[in-house]
Amino acid sequence: MARNRVVIIGGSVAGLGAALAAAETFDQVIIIERDELEFGAEPRRGVPQGNQLHALLSAGMDALRQFIPDLADQLTAEGCSRFDQVRDVATWSGAGWRQRLESGIETVGFRRPLFESVVRRNVLQRTNCHIRVGSVTGLTTSADASLVTGVEVEGQESIEADLVIDATGRASQAPKWFEQLGFERPEEVHVRCQMGYAARLVRIPEGVMPPQLFGVNALPFPGHHRGGLVFVVDNGLAMLAAAGVAREYPPRDEGAFLEYLDQAPVSILGEIARQCEPVGPIGTYRMPGNQLRLWHKLASRPRRFLVTGDAVGSYNPVYGQGMTQSAKAAVILRDTLASVEDLDDVAVPFQTALGQFAMYACDSSGKPDSLYDGATLINFEKWDDASVARATALEALATEDPAVTLKVSRAQLGMRPEELDSPELEAMVEQRMQSGEPSSNCDSTTLPEVVQLANASG
């Protein structure tokens, strides 16, 4: 069956990933984006959170490398930092400092606009990929609305397509469009803990942090609603960010911003913050919480229409899963298009595979977030006491045992829960739960040292 044209609505990471995937089988790929897009690190209007800290988990980098094998090298050439996430970032959980050790889990530090620019450049190097500026106002369909045939663009002629992909993010209009076409909206899952962020670019003077330390991470956790982090990004700059939950929003005012960071779980973060040299203004962003649309569970849907990225699931940014989900969705789309001959049959397998991944991501962020004071849960079950006890014991072990730290890091950064499925680890967690021993490595005034890799077998 002909695959002449695919139209992708939205030009952020999800849309770019979809374009990379579709470019392998379609003659023409058109991305329709509201913003004028330029190369560089400046935020754009359509991404209000673009001035906040973003991260791509190792699982996301692995996915994008399937389309751009030298992506990390290209980012490095643009001034982005590369480091071992476990060794080079001091991370405080609710249990204390996690062990620092060489893990082989590489992270690239960047500002989101710069990252998008590099990926977009690679998309446009595909001769069949194009970006048009415009605002999509609706879908065009067959007379019985069973088949999507293209999109309507404000002030322009409609564009016909063999496949339409919605990558417009959390505020996607696709649920409304479905209703207008006579289909049911997808059921939604929400874990609303009312989170807010404030961030600014800084330079970290030499000697403020130990050599080979690229970040200090002391984010909020249930029972402690205020936190923050400092994280090296690109071109000699770092992002200094505050994060708050349960409506304890970080302020934009300079002095209040620093005072807020003083209330992070570790006092050393505020000390570092006060020695940083501000480069730009403080930008703020708020969101209600985790949101998941169950597109994969719809009983009926119009053919040749897909939904990807944050339009499927949008999560608490502190877990870093958003861009990674978009990257994984690109791999799922490529594989689905390769395995399904008729485009009429693409939506169900694609949305099912992406939905399974999205449900895992939502569960990973939603379970701990469900424990915050005043959290509102819709179609989501709060973490039970036994699960909380297990997670607490696991984090306590990660403050002491490098092998456990490595497993936890691989599970979280690689989005591979199977890393934690071993009888040995299960026995260690059970023993820790029974002993009730407090965590060690809990001095919030000093940073943890790097331990030897030899100590972490596994």
Q: Which residue has the higher pLDDT, 317 or 356?
A: 356
For residue 284, pLDDT over 90 is answered with yes
Determine what percent of the chain is predicted with pLDDT higher than 70: 96
Mean pLDDT of 170-197: 97
Q: Which of 278, 262, 276, 109 is nearest to 208 (CA)?
A: 276
Q: What is the pLDDT of residue 457?
A: 45
SS3 readout for 39-74: CCCCCCCCCHHHHCCCCCCHHHHHHHHCCCCCHHHH
Task: Grade residue 455 by pLDDT with cuts at 50, 70 and 90.
Answer: very low
Task: Grade residue 439 by pLDDT with cuts at 50, 70 and 90.
Answer: confident
Determine what percent of the chain is predicted with pLDDT higher than 90: 89
Q: What is the pLDDT of residue 393?
A: 94
Four-CA torsion 101, 106, 110, 112, nearest 10 degrees? -120
Please, what are the domains in the chain? 5-82+109-187+292-366 (3.50.50.60)
Task: Grade residue 456 by pLDDT with cuts at 50, 70 and 90.
Answer: very low
Mean pLDDT of 90-112: 94
For the stretch 232-247, pLDDT in tens is 999 999 999 999 999 9
For residue 48, pLDDT over 60 is answered with no
For the stretch 119-175, pLDDT in tens is 999 999 999 999 999 999 999 999 999 999 999 999 999 999 999 999 999 999 999
Angle value at C-alpha 359, between 353 and 361, nearest 5 degrees: 105
Mean pLDDT of 36-58: 72
For residue 454, pLDDT over 60 is answered with no
Mean pLDDT of 284-313: 97
Q: What is the pLDDT of residue 38?
A: 74
Q: Any bridge partners for residue 283, and if so which?
A: 199
281-285, 303-307, 416-420, 444-448, range with greatest mean pLDDT: 303-307
For residue 47, pLDDT over 70 is answered with no
C-alpha span between 67 and 257 (Å, rounded): 40
C-alpha span between 322 and 47 (Å, rounded): 13
How high does pLDDT run on average in the chain? 93
Report CA 292 to chain centroid distance, whole Å.
14
Least confident stretch, 114-123, 167-176, 440-449: 440-449
CA distances from 259 to 218, 227, 228, 274 (A): 15, 11, 11, 10
Tokens at 431, concatenated: 């023993």
Mean pLDDT of 74-82: 96
Decide: 215 and 229 in contact? Cβ < 8 Å. Answer: yes
For residue 65, pLDDT over 90 is answered with yes
C-alpha span between 321 and 378 (Å, rounded): 20
Q: What is the pLDDT of residue 55?
A: 86
Decide: 129 and 123 in contact? Cβ < 8 Å. Answer: yes
Mean pLDDT of 38-56: 69
Instruction: State the DSSP H helix or E strand holding residue 262, giving kind and residue range, or none if neither.
Output: helix 254-262
For residue 440, pLDDT over 70 is answered with yes
Residues 6+ apart with CB under 8 A from 206: none
Q: What is the pLDDT of residue 318?
A: 86
